[in-house]
Every structure is written in structure tokens, then in C-alpha cells.
Amino acid sequence: MPGSPIEIGGATGRRGRYGVTAIVKIDGALHLVTAGHNVGEGRPAVFLPGQRRPIARVTRNLLDGAPGQAIDGSVARLLQPGLRLLERVRADPRWTTHVASPHPAHVDCPAFCWPTHGDRLPAFESTISSWCADEYRLLHGSASRLLIQLPRCTELGDSGTPLYVGRGERGDWQQLAYLGLCTGAVGRFSYFTPVELILKRLRAQLGGEVYLWTP
């Protein structure tokens, strides 16, 4: 489910740890969304941490775009083991079909995140410090504009972890909307790529048949 840890790489050898941002349906097939940086070339496999059987395979990396068009996001088509995992998911506020557009009103608002650098880590609340930050030390200047900025709250292994904002009157944990996915941290701040931007790019490239999926 969103906020669950995964690893991307080979069946043996070094893998990178990431978080599941969301599940989307593309042309009828279910895919997971995560960050795009450092996932490797080609169609690397996606695993549960420590497992040898892949649950998905990367099919598209938005960082491969033309200069100035790259976005830190990728999608991986779920294989049968991954589809079976979805059959066991339960109701959780992280499952949502709502996506928030970054907006000046988000500054100083609470945001919620489920970190993935460890197993079964509790969610935390932080405060948005910028809704459109640029950080050119991130990703070597690629896909480093118009990011959501929070005081540093993420670690290595949190890439792809979803960031949410509340959409109810109370702005609480029970009515959430996607805002961003973790792209990384530099200095005193953590940065998140807008989920809205990723979905728009996928729809532009794939003809519009991209939808958020919930159980």
C-alpha cells in the first residue's frame, strides 16, 4: 500500500530502498508509483525488502525526459505476486483518489508522511515551508524545480514515500490527499515532487488512461 517499503534492483546484488507512492491503473493494468532517481537502466525489478521474488517491474521512468522536462517519478507494472498482495490490503487513510495541487495556502500547513527507510515506522506530521522550492543541488540540477519543501524529515530509503495533506475541515489524518513523493534531502530541508505533476505527465505520455486505484 502507499507508504510501504520496496527495493529496486536485481534478484542478487545491490538494491535501492524506496517507498510506494500510490497504485495507479494504466490501460487496465495496475502499476505502483515511486521515485525515478537511481532506479537503474532498463526494466529493473521491484521486490519486498529482503525477498527474492519480484512483485513488479519498472516500465517507465519520467527522469528519462528531455532536458528541462525530467520529473522524479517512475511506474512499475505489478506482477502476479504484487497483485496477490493487493488482495490482502485493508482500509487505511493512505488509500485515496484525491490529489492536492501545490498552493501558497499550503505554507505552514501540516503534512503527513509514512517513512520507509525502516520497517513498520510510524507516520509523522511536519509543516510545509515552501510549495514551489528550487534546489539545484538535488539530482544534479535535474527535476529540481517547483518542489514542495519541508524542514528535513526524511532519510536515505524514503525516496518515493508519499506526502499527504488533510482535505477535511480539520485537515486531519482521516481525510487525506496526495501532495508529493519524496525526492530527497539537502541541508536542512527535505523535498517532494508534486504527485499532480507526475500524473499529468503520465497522462500526457500515455493518452490519458491513468487513474489512481484504491481497494
Residue 209 is predicted with a pLDDT of 85
Residue-level pLDDT at 68: 73
CB 9 within 8 A of CB 45: yes
Cα dihedral 83→85→89→94 (10° resolution)? -80
Each residue's pLDDT tens digit, 81-126: 999 999 888 778 889 999 999 999 999 999 999 999 988 888 889 9
Q: What pLDDT score was predicted for residue 99? A: 96
pLDDT reported for residue 49: 94
Task: At 186, give phi and psi (nearest 5°).
Answer: -140, 125
Same domain, 50 and 112: no
E strand or H helix that includes residue 200: helix 195-206
Q: What is the structure's pLDDT at 12?
A: 59
Assess if residue 98 is contained within a domain.
no
> Is 99 among the domain residues?
no
In a domain? residue 136: yes
Give yes or no: residues 183 and 201 share one domain. Answer: no
Answer yes or no: is 123 within a domain: yes
* pLDDT at residue 33 in the model: 98
Distance CA 210, CA 191 (A): 25
Is 172 a member of any domain? yes
Domains contained in the chain, number: 2
Q: Verify that 204 and 171 share a domain, yes or no.
A: no
* pLDDT tens per residue across all 215 residues of the chain: 899 999 998 655 689 999 999 999 999 999 999 999 988 777 899 999 989 999 999 999 999 876 678 999 999 999 999 999 998 887 788 899 999 999 999 999 999 999 999 888 888 899 999 999 998 888 877 778 899 999 998 999 999 999 999 876 555 556 899 999 999 999 999 999 999 999 999 999 988 789 999 98
132 and 204 share a domain? no
Does residue 97 lie in a domain region?
no
Buried b (16+ CB within 10 A) or exposed e, 40-76: eeeebbbbbeeeeebbbbbebbbbeeeeeebbbbbbb
**Residue 63 maps to which CATH number?**
2.40.10
Residue-number span of the structural domain to which 187 is assigned = 104-194
Within a domain: residue 24?
yes
Residues 111 and 153 occupy one common structural domain: yes
Q: What is the pTM of this model?
A: 0.92
CATH of the domain at 158: 2.40.10.10
